[in-house]
């Protein structure tokens, strides 16, 4: 296995761990926000990018705005997974 393949494998493993964490009870409200608005969020990610879209996502539900921004690093990884088509609406429990 070359370095590039190993790097991609490590990224996938990290993404799987992040998704597993996101699917825990602790993130129920954020996950529900993503499930309800998945198409809209996917479009935001594609048009604004993985990081910048988090601010726009925080406006989708004013009650969760602070919670979204407080979990910036986690959502950045979730957004990356969505952009790469590794995470789908069905991936969210």
User: What average pLDDT score do residues 41-60 get?
Assistant: 96
Cα separation, 4 vs 42, in Å, equals: 27
Candidates 36, 34, 28, 27; CA nearest to 71 is: 27
pLDDT confidence bin for 18, thresholds 50/70/90: very high
pTM over 0.85: yes
Q: Is pLDDT at 11 greater than 90 in this prediction?
A: no
């Amino acid at each position: 296995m070359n370095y590039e393949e190993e790097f991609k494998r490590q990224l996938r493993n990290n993404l799987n761990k992040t998704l597993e964490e996101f699917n825990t009870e602790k993130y129920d409200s954020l996950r529900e926000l993503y499930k309800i608005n998945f198409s809209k969020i996917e479009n935001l990610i594609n048009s604004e990018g993985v990081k910048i879209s988090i601010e726009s996502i925080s406006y989708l539900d004013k009650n969760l705005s602070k919670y979204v921004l407080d979990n910036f690093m986690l959502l950045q990884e979730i957004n990356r997974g969505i952009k790469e088509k590794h995470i789908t609406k069905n991936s969210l429990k």
